[in-house]
Amino acid sequence: MSRIILHVDMDSFYASVEQRRAPSLKGLPVVVGSDPKSGKGRGVVSTCSYEAREFGIHSGMPISLAYKLCPDAVYLRVNMQLYKEVSRRVMEILRSKAIRFQQVSVDEAFLDISEEVVDYKGAVNVAQEIKVQIKEQEGLTCSIGIAPTRSAAKIASDLDKPDGLTVVEPDRVAGFLEPLEVRRLQGIGRKNEEILQGLGIRTIGQLARFDRDKLVDVFGKWGTGMYLLAQGVDDSEVEERGVTRSVSREHTFDVDIGDSIVLYGALDNIAGLVHKSLQNKGFSFRTVSVKVRQADFTTFTRARTLDHDTRDPDTIRQVSGELASEFFNGRKIRLLGIRLSNLGKNKLRQTTLEDFIKE
């Protein structure tokens, strides 16, 4: 089942906070960073207002160059304590909207609202609510991307800044990514971009259609990673760090496998591994999901929720086997995975005989 993920990113964050604090700065080019020292400063620009961006100024640029481009801009030192306070309040608003929430920097966060809304229309309502609340409470604007994956949502939030809202419905992900430059994919920086250009790849669509094995030759494991991202495949989850919401294990076969006996055996192994990490963390579970990626990278997940909490390894084996069985039909499979979720919060557990044997 496809997910609904929001990526929220504040617009010109430090500069907007400064403009909010001193309304006389509204509409002016504001540069936040180190002291320009009349053009002799040696530090960099942290960020700048959209008015300053019109002069070509941007984050990371030497402050001396910014000064050359626009000496009349308002230059302010970084007031981290202030930005952190505002950030904390903004994140509180966001956290209240989703069970699955993850702050990834001072001004951005992911929300997986698959459980809070039923469709993308509902998601747009949530996004608009977020915008209104942040505007009313903090006087700031943000840009939001909505998509079925984290990586597409992040790219989407950046496309229509400031105060943007970009929605990418599940059946539109590939088409959405297709014309964009590869640089927009996370993990593809200037260096990788150059290498890809050498291969004749400029857009994400071109990358998605390129030969995967050749990418692996050039980039190693990351070749497969970027290939999948370009297809719009990204199953990374929105998870607050430090909070365990699920335990999972997966395995990619060295060669694609069609033999169901071998596949059931592999699934049993994975079940054993995932059970071990469940034990280490002291959780029980209620939901078992399996992930099956076929040789052509088509990926399926199937899940079943039990009517009771359990820690039983045989239940993991049995349920995952049943869930995966529809895919063990001779078709070649590249990857298998098992995830346990709906974890029991009570870490105190009954010791079973099996625990003595294993520990």
11 binds ligand TTP (CB under 6 A): yes
Which partner in Mg ion, ligand TTP, none is near 152 (CB below 5 to 8 A by kind)? none
With respect to ligand TTP, which residue has the nearer C-beta, 47 or 320?
47
- Residues 284, 309: contact at Cβ < 8 Å? yes
221 contact partners, CB below 8 Å, separation of at least 6: none
Contacts to ligand TTP from residues 139-198, by CB under 6 A: 161-162
With respect to Mg ion, which residue has the nearer C-beta, 30 or 316?
30
10 binds Mg ion (CB under 5 A): yes
**Which amino acid would we find at residue 68?**
K
> Hey, which residues does 109 pair with through a beta bridge?
8, 103
Q: Is position 181 annotated as part of the catalytic site?
A: no
138 binds Mg ion (CB under 5 A): no
CB of 46 to ligand TTP, least distance (A): 3
23 CB-contact burial (10 Å; exposed 0-12 / middle 13-18 / buried 19+): exposed
Which range binds ligand TTP by CB under 6 A, 8-16, 68-76, 121-129, 230-238?
8-16
60 binds ligand TTP (CB under 6 A): yes
140: nearest Cα among 49, 24, 230, 69: 49
Number of DSSP helices (H) and strands (E) in the chain, helices first: 14, 12
Contacts to ligand TTP from residues 222-281, by CB under 6 A: none
> Where does 232-342 have alpha helices with state H?
260-281, 313-324
14 binds ligand TTP (CB under 6 A): yes
With respect to ligand TTP, which residue has the nearer C-beta, 10 or 290?
10
Contacts to ligand TTP from residues 99-138, by CB under 6 A: 106-107
Strand order in the sheet with 333-341: 246-257, 333-341, 285-294, 299-310
12 binds ligand TTP (CB under 6 A): yes
With respect to ligand TTP, which residue has the nearer C-beta, 140 or 271?
140
Q: In angstroms, what CA-CA distances link 302 with 91, 276, 325?
A: 32, 22, 10
List the end-to-end C-alpha distance of the chain, in Å, as a whole number. Answer: 37
**How many Å is the Cα radius of gyration of the chain?**
24
User: What is the DSSP annotation of 296-317?
Assistant: T--EEEEEEEEEEEE--HHHHH
**Distance (Å, whole) CA 66 – CA 48:** 10
107 binds Mg ion (CB under 5 A): yes
Number of residues binding to ligand TTP, judged by CB under 6 A:
14
Which partner in Mg ion, ligand TTP, none is near 284 (CB below 5 to 8 A by kind)? none
The one catalytic residue in 108, 193, 237, 240 is 108
319: nearest Cα among 271, 277, 262, 260: 271
Number of residues binding to Mg ion, judged by CB under 5 A:
4
With respect to ligand TTP, which residue has the nearer C-beta, 148 or 164?
164
CB of 230 to Mg ion, least distance (A): 24
With respect to Mg ion, which residue has the nearer C-beta, 13 or 285?
13
CB of 207 to Mg ion, least distance (A): 26
172 contact partners, CB below 8 Å, separation of at least 6: none
47 binds ligand TTP (CB under 6 A): yes
Binding site for Mg ion (CB under 5 A): 9-10, 13, 107
Binding site for ligand TTP (CB under 6 A): 9-14, 46-47, 59-60, 106-107, 161-162
Q: Which residues are catalytic?
A: 108
